[in-house]
Amino acid sequence: MFKDKKILLGITGSIAAYKAILLTRLLIKEGAEVKVIITKAASDFVSPLTLSTLSKNPVLQDLSSNSEWVNHVQLGRWADVFIIAPLSCNTLAKMAYGLCDNLLMATYLSATCPIVVAPAMDEDMWKHPSTQKNIETIESYQNKILSVNNGELASGLFGEGRMAEPEQIVDYLYHYFQDTTELVGKKVLITAGPTYEAIDPVRFIGNHSSGKMGFALAEEMAMKGATVTLVTGPTKEKISIDTIKRIDVVSASDMYNTCLEFASDSDILIMSAAVADYTPITVATNKIKKKEGSWEVALTKTKDILYSIGQQKKNNQFLVGFALETNNEIEHAKQKLINKNADCIVLNSLNDANAGFGHQTNKITLLDKSGNITAFDLKSKKEVAKDIVSFIISKLNG
């Protein structure tokens, strides 16, 4: 993924420095050349020996080494990107004010390559007005700030301030190094995840869709330069590209209304959500108490978003639907392509092991209006997203 890429990794003094070890390992595994600069405070958290062994390069800490000046100017020119992860509150403040008291800061101030930072700190420190002001300041200097995660912090408290996970940083860099021009100017609408249909204030009808496939598609589209709106049902998935407009919805009806609002203005529409086909006719205001005997919930059909968009589709719009089938898969998918007036159907078969709902991997067959049927191998959902997006691009290009 990062063959021939030169990555300069700056590590500052935060407990999250331990994650920089995994980050180094992942970058090297993906073929990058990595040089590491650590601050004195960072070396209290992680050993330079571990980092030099993993990066296969000496770890740099001081402005001079063995009476020789370390050429910090050259480091910033050597790198394709300088990533500072974790970025401590202290180094953030130095970046905002241009202090130059160590090798990392000298390299930062003289770097000509793009700079990406992954802040890590306690929630209260993160939310402090001075921290937020410093973040705004360094952002205005064209540094890229990766979002902090919400979760358990070193203090034992839960909240915002966790450093982006090494995998998220690798993902970001992967997007960063991609050719982002193919879909520039295209607006893409994607649905993802399940929908929850309320029965009463505490119960709902849902399904096991994780949202992974839709999120991977949104990221792949954004990576190619598209302007992406992602309408998602309840999911734990997170978006690592902040240009994606994420709209959270709960029910099929919410998803329908939101999609219809954006549909006519979209060039590519991908309906990957597992939308409930039925919803309770009435939603009880109070929690329904259990009674003797069985209980029947009267359901009514939801509006089919893919079908509705298919009916109003313009010639220059490309509509993709998903089909999850258990038998006569190709025949059913062909029917769906026609009935819903889609340009392409992504077929998942429940007969394929490790594919579809809840899995990290997927195995798809693509059917298009010209009658082409293309089967793909079992792949990670990110790889599958790439196949689908490449397929769409090839169709758009004629």
- Is 207 part of the annotated catalytic residue set? yes
Secondary structure class of 205 (helix, strand, coil): strand
| C-beta atoms surrounding 374 within 10 Å | 12
Provide the minimum distance between the beta carbon of 161 and ligand CTP in the complex, in angstroms, as a whole number. Answer: 36
Asked if 302 interacts with ligand CTP (CB under 6 A), we say yes
Of 240 and 258, the one with the shorter C-beta distance to ligand CTP is: 258
Is the sign of the CA dihedral 39, 44, 48, 54 positive or negative? Answer: negative
Q: Which tokens belong to 187?
A: 């607006």
Asked if 92 interacts with ligand CTP (CB under 6 A), we say no
**In contact, 273 and 214? CB cutoff 8 Å:** yes
Look-up: residue for tokens 């295209």? Answer: 186
**Which residues touch 272 (CB under 8 Å, ≥6 apart)?**
190, 191, 192, 213, 214, 217, 320, 322, 346
Of the residues 57, 90, 149, 207, only one is catalytic, namely 207
Q: Which tokens belong to 237?
A: 């998935």
* Beta strands in 101-212, from DSSP E residues, in sequence order: 115-119, 144-145, 149-152, 158-162, 187-192, 197-198, 204-205
Is the sign of the CA dihedral 210, 238, 375, 323 positive or negative? Answer: positive
Asked if 277 interacts with ligand CTP (CB under 6 A), we say yes
Stretch that binds ligand CTP, among 25-33, 206-214, 238-246, 273-281 (CB under 6 A): 273-281
Asked if 322 interacts with ligand CTP (CB under 6 A), we say yes
Binders of ligand CTP among 233-262, rule CB under 6 A?
252
Provide the minimum distance between the beta carbon of 221 and ligand CTP in the complex, in angstroms, as a whole number. Answer: 16
List 79, 148, 323, 384, residue binding ligand CTP (CB under 6 A): 323
Residues binding ligand CTP: number (CB under 6 A)? 15
Asked if 193 interacts with ligand CTP (CB under 6 A), we say no
Of 52 and 341, the one with the shorter C-beta distance to ligand CTP is: 341
Of 173 and 271, the one with the shorter C-beta distance to ligand CTP is: 271
x/- map, 331-360, ligand CTP, by CB under 6 A: -----x------------------------
> Radius of gyration over alpha carbons of the chain, in Å?
25
Provide the minimum distance between the beta carbon of 397 and ligand CTP in the complex, in angstroms, as a whole number. Answer: 24
Asked if 268 interacts with ligand CTP (CB under 6 A), we say no
Asked if 329 interacts with ligand CTP (CB under 6 A), we say no
Asked if 304 interacts with ligand CTP (CB under 6 A), we say yes
List 103, 275, 337, 367, residue binding ligand CTP (CB under 6 A): 275
Gap between the Cα atoms of 103 and 259, Å rounded: 51
Provide the minimum distance between the beta carbon of 396 and ligand CTP in the complex, in angstroms, as a whole number. Answer: 19
Stretch that binds ligand CTP, among 78-86, 167-175, 272-280, 359-367 (CB under 6 A): 272-280
Stretch that binds ligand CTP, among 83-91, 135-143, 207-215, 321-329 (CB under 6 A): 321-329
**Which residues touch 292 (CB under 8 Å, ≥6 apart)?**
none
Asked if 324 interacts with ligand CTP (CB under 6 A), we say yes
By beta-carbon distance, which residue lies closest to ligand CTP?
305
Of 155 and 341, the one with the shorter C-beta distance to ligand CTP is: 341
CB-count burial class (<10 Å; 0-12, 13-18, 19+) for 260: middle
The tally of CA atoms less than 13 A away on the side-chain side of residue 128 is 12
Q: Which tokens belong to 369?
A: 């209006």
**In contact, 379 and 353? CB cutoff 8 Å:** no
**Interacting residue ranges for ligand CTP, rule: CB under 6 A:** 191, 252, 271, 273, 275, 277, 302, 304-306, 321-324, 336
> Catalytic positions, please?
207
